[in-house]
Structures are given as C-alpha cells and as structure tokens.
Amino acid sequence: MLRPLIVVGGSVVLTLAVGWVADWALRRAADRRPEQPLWELLRRCRLPLQLVLCAAMLRGSYAQAEIAEGHSVGIGRALTLVLIASVAWLAVRISAAVVESSYARYASAHRDPARVRRVRTQVTLIQRVVAAVVGVVAVAAMLLTFPAMQAAGASLLASAGVLGIVAGVAAQSTLANLFAGLQIAFGDMVRIGDTVVVDGEWGVVDEITLTFLTVRTWDERRITMPVSYFTSKPFENWSRGGAQMTGTVFLQLDHTAPMAAMREKLHEILRECAAWDGRDWGLAVTDTTPNTMQVRALVTAKDADDIWTVRVTVREQLVAWLAEKHPYALPRVNTAWAVEPPDGDHPHPVTPHVPRTGRG
C-alpha cells in the first residue's frame, strides 16, 4: 500500500515543484525584460506542462508501483492518451505564445494601421492552422494506440486514395472556403478591422477564420458569410490603400438657393467639426430638374468612422441653417404666377374646365 502512495504522491509533488520553478523563472525573465511579451505569454503553459510531466512520470512508473495489476494495460493506455493530449495542448500554447509575441513586437515597431491589420489577420489564421494540425496529429496518435486501429492501418492506407477523392467531392465547398481563407490571409485582400461594403451592408471586418468571415455592421449586427464570397464576388474595401476617405452630401434645393452663402456656411461647419481632417472640401450644383437642383457637398476625413460623422454633421447643420435663414431655398411646390415676358404681354391664369354633372 505504501509503494503506490509514494509513486503517485511523489509524481504529483515533483510536478507541482517543477511547475512552480518554471513559473518563477518566467516571471523573473518578464520582469527583467518588460518589452519582451514572450515570457509573460509562456506562463500560460504552466498547467499543460505540469500535466505532461505528471502523465509521463506516472506512465513510466505505474508498473513498478503495482497499482491495479489486473488492469495495468488499461491504465497504461489511459495514461498514454492523457500524455498525448497534454503534449498537444502544450504545443498549441507554446506556438500561440511565440506567434502572439512576434505580432506584439511587430505592432509596436510599425505605425501603419493597414500593415498591422494585415499581420494580425495572418497571425490569427496561422494560429488556427497550427492548432488544427496539432489536433489532427494528436487524435491520430491516440487512435493508433489501440490494436484494432493498428491492424486496420494497412487497409486504410491502401484505400486512402479512393477516400481522398470521395472526401474531396463531398467537401468541395468546405475545401474551397479553406483555400479562400488562406488566400485572403496571405493575399492581403481583406484584413481584420477593414471597413467593407458587402451586399449593400456597411461594416467592419470583425473576425476571419479558415471557413467564414464576420462583418460587424454600424448597428452592431454580425453578418457571417463564407470566405469564398470575397474571392468570387466584388466588394468594396474602404480601408484598402489607406484609411483616408472622401465623402459626399447631396441636397435637393430650390433654384434660388444662395450658393455663395452656402459655401461660406459649409466651410464654417467643417472648421468646427473635429472629424474633418482639413484636406479638401467643396460645394457644387451637380444636377437640375424642373423643380429642384441637386447640390453636392464634398468633405474628407481620416477614416470611415470620421467620414460618416462629417457627412451627417454637414447634412444636419446645412438643412437647419437653410430652414432658419433661407427657407425659400428648400424644395416646395411652385404655385406662383408665371413671370411676365419681356414684351409686356401679361399672362393670365387659365382656369381648368371641370365638367358639371347633374340629374336630367
């Protein structure tokens, strides 16, 4: 009875001691080099490291401990499965720490938001690929610990070609999305944080995986679509090539609208608007109809969020100013008398003839 207790207790105590020492060493390294985030991120690996050590020590010493001798095969296989799973967990944690620390250093060294978003997208997909590969390898290793799976290995390899063709046909759309996700990540087509317009919906790319992409709209909705959409259909990326944007505000006004005064008012509104970046502005008549004319105000801002703020500010304040100072400039139904022609012939309104109905 004493030997199993010594073996199990010693393994647990040694595991806790090694985990504490490793965490203490990583904490000291993080304190010495606070600009290097790797050591702090590696502290997340303490639990899987302890699990790996404990499972390995128990797997190597359980036979000498004479624990449940009648079930030694089952205990050994269970410990092997735990060891494989914990090693996979540790590998995923270490790879995530390395990738995240590399991204943190890159983000602190570069000030270009577009490049940082591109690297962030690539890092996210790299982490997912590594986790998927490690998971598949771990599951395969766990299955091969069973004798039945080892016996079927030869037949599985012999039929791998046929199964691959069948799986490829059955999962054609899934594979297309998988390759589209890799193309998006490394082709720099769209990045996390980009402002896009998809199917008439304006939003910001919130998440990119190997199979789907999520767009967060202005009203906090989430639109989820397959990544293959972005490789097969056109879409607007307002963040491509720089975040600066030019926006327009269209107003339908009467032909008597004071354009010179409106230009001065527009410039005054923009000077007081913090979202305007000062690059450009303008006001022009772009179209006319028999009753109104179309006036376009042109404004600029540093990104998509600010351009929206500038546009709504200009539209609101210009309309309020016209309604207060120049109400005649707003669209209305014209029921005035016709203008007198140059020859002095006064026009007279023509009363439309309305037929009268009655009995008999």
3-state secondary structure 315-337: HHHHHHHHHHHCHHHCCCCCCCC
CATH of domain 245-329: 3.30.70.100
pLDDT at 80: 81
pLDDT at 27: 77
- What pLDDT digit, counting tens, does each position of 119-155 carry? 777 777 777 778 888 887 888 777 777 776 655 544 5
pLDDT beyond 90 at 251: yes
Confidence of residue 350 (pLDDT cuts 50, 70, 90): very low
The answer to whether 209 touches 261, Cβ cutoff 8 Å, is no
Rounded (5°) CA angle 53-54-55: 95
- What pLDDT digit, counting tens, does each position of 64-93 carry? 655 555 556 677 778 788 888 888 888 888
Strand 293-301: give its sheet, edge to edge. 245-253, 293-301, 276-288
The answer to whether 100 touches 37, Cβ cutoff 8 Å, is yes
pLDDT beyond 60 at 349: no
DSSP label of 288: E
CA 329/CA 260 separation, integer angstroms = 13
Confidence of residue 169 (pLDDT cuts 50, 70, 90): very low
pLDDT at 16: 77
pLDDT at 167: 46
Tell the residue number behind the tokens 């439309």, with chain if given: 352
Q: Which is more confident, 129 or 282? A: 282
Q: Where are the domains of the chain?
A: 2-109, 245-329
CA 90/CA 78 separation, integer angstroms = 18
pLDDT beyond 70 at 58: yes
Supply the DSSP string of 267-280, one letter for each residue: HHHHHH-TTEEEEE
pLDDT beyond 50 at 288: yes
Q: Of all residues in the chain, what percent carry a pLDDT higher than 70?
A: 69
Structure-block tokens of residue 304: 């998509």
